[in-house]
Amino acid sequence: MTEPVIAQKKPIIVELEAGKEYWWCACGRSKTQPFCDGSHQGTGIEPLCFREEKGGKRGMCCCKHTATPPYCDGTHKTLGD
């Protein structure tokens, strides 16, 4: 399996709708971060499907190294240049 690439070293804040299903990009190659656009094909990495419960603003991981996907946990601050 290919390693995920770092889309950016900070989260993207998005407004999520309650009860809606989303596909979070886990490979880092999507042009529509933080969501999957199909660019993972051939990498062996699959997007993460999740359903937003409450709705509201969320910090979505874009470094793809979070321990709490799809959400940012601050891991991007520990990644080197």
Residue of the chain from 11, 16, 22, 30 that contacts ligand FES (CB under 6 A)? 30
User: Cβ of residue 33: shortest distance to ligand FES, in angstroms?
Assistant: 9
- Give, as ranges, the residues between 35 and 64 that touch ligand FES (CB under 6 A): 36-40, 45, 47
Element (H, E) at 14: strand 12-16
Looking at beta carbons only, is 17 or 37 nearer to ligand FES? Answer: 37
Q: What does the alpha-carbon distance between residue 19 and residue 23 come to, in Å, rounded to a whole number?
A: 13
Give the length of the chain.
81
Beta partners for 13?
59
Residues that bind ligand FES (CB under 6 A): 25-27, 29-30, 36-40, 45, 47
